[in-house]
Amino acid sequence: MELGLRAIQEAALRGQLVIYAAYALVGLATFIVAKMLLQEQETRAAQENLEDLKNRKSSSALVRITRPFFTQYVVPMVRSRPIYDNQRKVYRRKLISSGLKDELTPDEFIAFKFFLIIFFPIVGVVLRALDFMDISGLTILGSGVAGWFYPDFWINSRIARRQREVLRSMPFIVDLLALSTEAGLDFVGAIGKVVEKAKSSPLVDEFDQFLKEIKVGSSRQEALRELSVRIGMTEVNSFVAILISADQMGASIGKILRQQSEQIRADRMLRAEKAGAQASQKILIPMMIFIVPAAFLLIAGPFIVNAIYPR
């Protein structure tokens, strides 16, 4: 009897071991399959990311050259790090205002700054090693600091240039809006006509984005505020505030646009006069250094020569 019970217990134990082994094998197989699926998904995501990088164009040659490196190696270290949240907010706004939101993300811009800290010194070392340029070690180290600040200088210059283009095209665009509304179109229809007929410019691009936001359900006031924030100019902010007030009060948009057009042209004339007055002051120092001495030598030169070498 004891031998029979022992045999039954051993058989039950072997059965439990077989069941545990089966569970382990099933778990191992599930792990392997899940890992293969995840690897395939990661590979597909990486390929899609590479294709996206190839299709995305950039206005900066430096970004085009270095993008494969800083997106692959630096962006993963920056992405989802809470320490960069404040910088993300600042650079997101700057990228929108500069018209670079389709070229770079805030994480890519931060990664670009970190990458240039290393990239610029490497370029300096290579140029020095190949005897193309005699660069000191201090200059090479300083180029790393310049690499950190260069993207900020680049994006600020893009914002300033874009704002100048907006300011230059604003009187003509507002005139077109006024004519369109006086011809019977509503404000949104007038903007659509301007986007269709006007020459491409940053302001026309922003009006096109305004129409897209209207189509997806934003109210006219919300879309106008977003347009004002994207451009980030005092003149545009005042223009948008007046349009929103007129819309809320039910005033005639055509008359408001005509008044704004006249005001914008008057402000433009004042800025031109101010720039002319500043130019006359700025030219004074170069004139005193270069032109006045030359004129003095031209007039007084013969008298000085006659005084030194009398006939």
Residue-wise pLDDT for 144-202, tens only, equals 889 999 999 999 999 999 988 888 888 888 888 888 888 888 888 888 888 888 888 88
12 has pLDDT over 80: no
Under CATH, which number does the domain 163-284 receive? 1.20.81
pLDDT in tens, 91-100: 988 888 888 8
* Confidence class for position 32, pLDDT limits 50, 70, 90: low
9 has pLDDT over 90: no
**Overall average pLDDT of the 97-113 stretch:** 88
> CA-CA distance, 235 to 171, in Å (whole number)?
11
Put residue 35 in one of left, alpha, beta given phi > 0 → left and psi -120 to 50 → alpha. alpha
How many CB atoms are located within 10 Å of the residue 86 CB? 9
285 has pLDDT over 90: no
> CA-CA distance, 95 to 136, in Å (whole number)?
35
At residue 208, the 3 state secondary structure works out as: helix
> CA-CA distance, 39 to 62, in Å (whole number)?
32
Which tokens in the block code for residue 37?
Answer: 């699926």
DSSP 83: G
Angle at 84 between CA 83 and CA 90, to 5 degrees: 140
> CA-CA distance, 291 to 32, in Å (whole number)?
82
Report pLDDT for 113: 92
**Overall average pLDDT of the 26-46 stretch:** 54
Report pLDDT for 112: 92
**Residue 99 and residue 158 in contact, taking contact as beta carbons nearer than 8 Å:** yes
86 has pLDDT over 80: yes
**Overall average pLDDT of the 246-265 stretch:** 77
Helix axes 61-73, 2-55, angle to 10 degrees: 170
Domain boundary assignment for the chain? 21-55, 61-162, 163-284
Q: Mean pLDDT, the chain, as a whole number?
A: 78
Long-range (24+ apart) CB contacts under 8 A made by 78-87 are 78/107, 78/110, 78/111, 78/114, 79/107, 84/110
Report pLDDT for 148: 92
**Residue 235 and residue 270 in contact, taking contact as beta carbons nearer than 8 Å:** no
| Residue whose structure tokens are 């201090």 | 138
**Range ranked top by mean pLDDT from 28-37, 136-145, 253-262, 283-292:** 136-145
Higher pLDDT, 15 or 203: 203
